[in-house]
């Protein structure tokens, strides 16, 4: 049995439709992974007339390098700056996406109420600033007002719970 890996993308820009297909080419020895990748590019205008077409056959181990080279060359050709590189997993803070412990929650609350900035707290906890802002309400802190708790919502105020309004 021969299983090949494929990826297809089609987008419309204005009246043109573009398509790219990337497929691992089957190897002669069906027990081994493919050593070659075929990249087929096509595009057509609203009338179906071709505006782009081509095919690249690449050794699998050079796909990443050729992709970077193509992107850089094409952006340079049209006079646009190359977009910044996507974040790689190694660029992420060490604890990004991990669960919080009750001790970390207590320390987060303490640091926020002491007036530390989101950035400083993120650095301390090895998490992103967005992760810190998202966690603050869970420990009762107001992410919009540094050093403050969230106000008590009306539904949790003593008068709403049947207590003395004071």
- pLDDT tens readout for residues 25-35: 776 666 666 68
| The model's pTM | 0.47
pLDDT score, position 1? 42
Average confidence (pLDDT) over 83-88: 66
pLDDT score, position 60? 85
Burial of 54 (0-12, 13-18, 19+ CB in 10 A): exposed
User: Which stretch, 32-46, 51-65, 79-93, has highest mean pLDDT?
Assistant: 51-65
**19, 8 Cβ separation under 8 angstroms:** yes
Average confidence (pLDDT) over 64-83: 86
pLDDT score, position 50? 95
Burial of 122 (0-12, 13-18, 19+ CB in 10 A): buried
Q: pLDDT by residue (tens digit) across 97-118?
A: 889 999 999 999 999 999 999 9
């Amino acid at each position: 049995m021969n299983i090949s890996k494929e990826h297809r993308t089609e987008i419309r820009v204005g009246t043109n439709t573009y398509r790219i297909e990337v497929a691992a080419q089957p190897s002669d020895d069906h027990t081994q992974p493919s050593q070659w990748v075929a990249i087929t590019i096509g595009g057509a205008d609203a009338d179906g007339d071709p505006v782009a077409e081509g095919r690249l056959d690449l050794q699998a181990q050079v796909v990443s390098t050729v992709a970077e080279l193509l992107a850089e060359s094409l952006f340079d050709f049209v006079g646009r700056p190359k977009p910044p590189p996507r974040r790689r997993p190694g660029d992420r803070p060490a604890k990004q996406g991990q669960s919080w412990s009750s001790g970390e929650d207590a320390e987060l609350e303490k640091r926020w109420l002491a007036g530390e900035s989101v950035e400083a707290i993120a650095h301390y906890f090895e998490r992103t600033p967005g992760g810190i802002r998202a966690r603050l309400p869970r420990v009762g802190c107001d992410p919009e007002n540094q050093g403050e708790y969230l106000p008590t919502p009306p539904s949790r105020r003593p008068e709403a719970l049947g207590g003395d309004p004071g």
